[in-house]
Amino acid sequence: MTIILLSYMTKALVFHPFLVNKKSGALRPEYALDEAKLLAQTLGLIVTEQHLIPLKKITPATYIGSGKCLEIAELAKQHKATLVVMDCALSPGQQKNLEDACKCKIIDRTGLILEIFGARARTAEGKLQVELAALDYQKGRLVRAWTHLERQRGGFGFAGGPGETQIELDRRRIRDRIAGIKKDLEKVKNTRSLQRKKRAAVPYPVVALVGYTNAGKSTLFNRLTKANVLAEDKLFATLDPTMRALTLPSGRKVMLSDTVGFISLLPTQLIAAFRATLEEVSQANLLLHIRDATAEDSEAQKIAVLGVLKDLDIAEDEGRKILEVMNKIDSVELEHRPANTIAVSALTGAGIMELLAEIDSALA
């Protein structure tokens, strides 16, 4: 079975639906829309227009209502767009109804993030975890033709091009593949457990970097360890965990771990699938919560990160501390630095010695 994959020249429209009467700690609608556009561009889509869709209520059949569907269909026709990104979580029925109404392919936030993860995972473990999440997402849907054996690049074809045939997936095949992946991941988990036992014989504390995607974790990791981990100004530049030794000013040695960035409304499939990858975080003695000082919605990003940590049963307790690190101070004046935070620039090195001293003190 073959699959028609997304073209990097695919024109797309991006929409962020939101309830006007709902108050939450999520990103403000305008920032959420910008983030959705960045996610689409990270996947290589050409975003021709992006719009907010204020809603008084969610329509069960299409999420946004028939009137908005007609508007989207007209916009897609005007821009010759073959893909519409809906920055929300759609049920299988809503996705199908939207495609019928809008006359083009629809991808929701979960599918978009899974596509990015599928394209960027590099290690065997990372690929297995993303595939598990994708299969879990797919199993209740009638989606485009799928095969994990014949992909020419990463991704899963959720955002495939025009002309694709919509078919019923072989659910038994999916169940069998899910069972196989879980067995493989269990082996990986056992291997990681053995590696941790070996590290325990040389008891170095573990310090893990966590934070919102594109907060600068990998750049800071490279600055601290003189490593050469991929650090790009893109969402989800890092998917696979990396560990390096770091010597603190006191002479104490620690293991520093770089991890995947978090994001608001992270798909539940990915939280479950990446538990093994994030086990390093769960075992860490100290968490450095890296925050982007230039982000206009920094507080909402903080809430999102703490929410994911809570979902992973990782929190500050008697055996573990969390230090907040405001990064990118070279690009912004911090007039009111949040209390109990450390200000650094991973790019220029400003504040790095203070950060190392704080790590030393926290682990003392």
Mean pLDDT of 240-244: 76
Share above pLDDT 70 across residues of the chain, in percent, rounded to a whole number: 79
Please list, residue by residue across 311-338, b when 16 or more beta carbons sit within 10 angstroms of its beta carbon and e when fewer do: ebebeeeeebebbbbbbbbeeeeeeeee
Average pLDDT over all residues of the chain: 81
pLDDT at 24 over 50: yes
pLDDT at 131 over 90: no
pLDDT at 153 over 50: no
Q: How confident is residue 142, by pLDDT bands cut at 50, 70 and 90?
A: very low
Task: Specify the higher pLDDT residue, 285 or 282.
Answer: 285
pLDDT at 231 over 60: no
User: What is the pTM for the complete model shown?
Assistant: 0.77
Do 222 and 256 contact (CB within 8 A), yes or no? no
pLDDT at 215 over 50: yes
Mean pLDDT of 259-273: 75
Residue 260 has which token pair?
A: 């995947």
When mean pLDDT is compared across 10-19, 21-30, 162-171, 349-358, the lowest value belongs to 162-171
Distance of CA 212 to CAs 67, 298, 327, Å?
35, 9, 11
Q: Which of 199-208, 256-265, 332-341 tops mean pLDDT?
A: 256-265
pLDDT at 274 over 90: no
Q: What local confidence, expressed as pLDDT, does residue 262 receive? A: 82
Do 322 and 287 contact (CB within 8 A), yes or no? yes
Question: Domains in the chain and their CATH numbers?
Answer: 11-167 (3.40.50.11060), 204-363 (3.40.50.300)
Q: DSSP assignment, residue 48?
A: E
Q: What local confidence, expressed as pLDDT, does residue 106 receive? A: 93
